[in-house]
A and B are shown apart, each in its own frame.
Chain A
């Protein structure tokens, strides 16, 4: 599945011949029909609804089919504050989505807990348990920001490889598609983070 020479391709296109590869066709189909999971948590969900409605119209990017079932969804938009009560359900829903699946972490709360970070019941970021593809800052992010994240995700899907050593995760039989669901502990979720997924940036203090 070698890359097509761009010059040859445009030359052929001028002659009315359209050349593509299996990988491009596959990614083109996938990126233009991303079905998000119909799943909102807090005020970011209102912005998500606005994005789906006619003014911002996520249908222009092929993402208007919000599915109420994880079995039919490709994308999970974690829109809002994730409480510790809700986190196991989110991980379970993510596990129930078929591959390939993607996650957009929408808003400050889903990224880090946001303004409620010090709350005893708030999860400090959904990326502690599931891998996140695109983060959108904002409180809440405007619909344009969600559209931008959606386009970034489309760009990511477009660049995924079908074969080779760096092929997409869902095509790699070694990569797991289910992640352990945290349990309710005495004071916190157990484990507080999945070390296989959660790689926070190391803060180095300099004297």
Chain B
């Protein structure tokens, strides 16, 4: 009589349980018989790179960081556009020159607006 086809699954589950649990049980028995546990403040410390941890990991970042990041990003992109503009400056037609000046003006206007709004003052 052929065994139930699902019987092998049962064997697999049994092996999957015994394989990790047996070494753990042996280690537990070994500790009971021979090796006394030696816990300590530093051994049980959460951080493990040799440096003492300071403060709490659960901190919140201020939203002002994001404002600074966005302003930085805008002028970062501006610098990328300015380099090809400066390289091709002598060969540019008047229309392209005015276009890039408008682009610069928009960004400078944005900076003036952010400045006057007080975004660059680090509020405590």
Check A171–B36 contact: CB distance below 8 A: yes
Known: A70-B48, A71-B48, A90-B50. A96 touches B42 (CB 8 A): yes
Residues of A contacting B48 in the complex (Cβ-Cβ under 8 angstroms): 69-71, 96
A176 and B51 CA atoms in complex are apart in Å by 21
Check A93–B38 contact: CB distance below 8 A: no
Residues of A contacting B52 in the complex (Cβ-Cβ under 8 angstroms): 92
A69 and B50 CA atoms in complex are apart in Å by 10
A95's partner among B36, B40, B49 (CB-CB below 8 A) is: B40
Q: Nearest-CB distance from B29 to chain A (Å)?
A: 12
Across the interface, name the chain A residue whose C-beta is closest to B40.
Answer: A178
Check B43–A96 contact: CB distance below 8 A: yes
Interface residues on B, range: 10 to 19
User: Which residues of chain A in 82-122 are interfacial with respect to chain B, using CB atoms and an 8 Å cutoff?
Assistant: 89-90, 92-93, 95-96, 98-99
User: Which residues of chain B in 44-58 are interfacial with respect to chain A, using CB atoms and an 8 Å cutoff?
Assistant: 45, 48-52
Check A178–B42 contact: CB distance below 8 A: yes
Across the interface, name the chain B residue whose C-beta is closest to A175.
Answer: B38
Number of A interface residues at 8 Å Cβ cutoff, please give it. Answer: 21
Does A162 count as interface, using CB distance less than 8 angstroms? yes
Check B38–A181 contact: CB distance below 8 A: no
Across the interface, name the chain B residue whose C-beta is closest to A22.
Answer: B34
A96 and B47 CA atoms in complex are apart in Å by 10
Does B116 count as interface, using CB distance less than 8 angstroms? no
Does A173 count as interface, using CB distance less than 8 angstroms? yes
13 contacts between A and B (CB under 8 A): A70-B48, A89-B50, A92-B42, A95-B43, A96-B42, A96-B43, A99-B35, A170-B38, A172-B36, A177-B38, A177-B40, A178-B43, A181-B42
A69-B48, A170-B38, A178-B42 known; 20 other A-B pairs, CB under 8 Å? A70-B48, A70-B50, A71-B48, A89-B51, A92-B42, A92-B51, A92-B52, A95-B40, A96-B45, A96-B48, A98-B43, A99-B35, A99-B38, A171-B35, A171-B36, A173-B38, A176-B38, A177-B38, A177-B43, A178-B40
Q: Which 9 A-B pairs have the closest CB atoms?
A: A89-B50, A173-B36, A178-B40, A95-B42, A93-B50, A177-B38, A92-B50, A96-B48, A171-B34
Using CB atoms and an 8 Å cutoff, list the residues of chain A in contact with chain B.
69-71, 89-90, 92-93, 95-96, 98-99, 162-163, 170-173, 176-178, 181
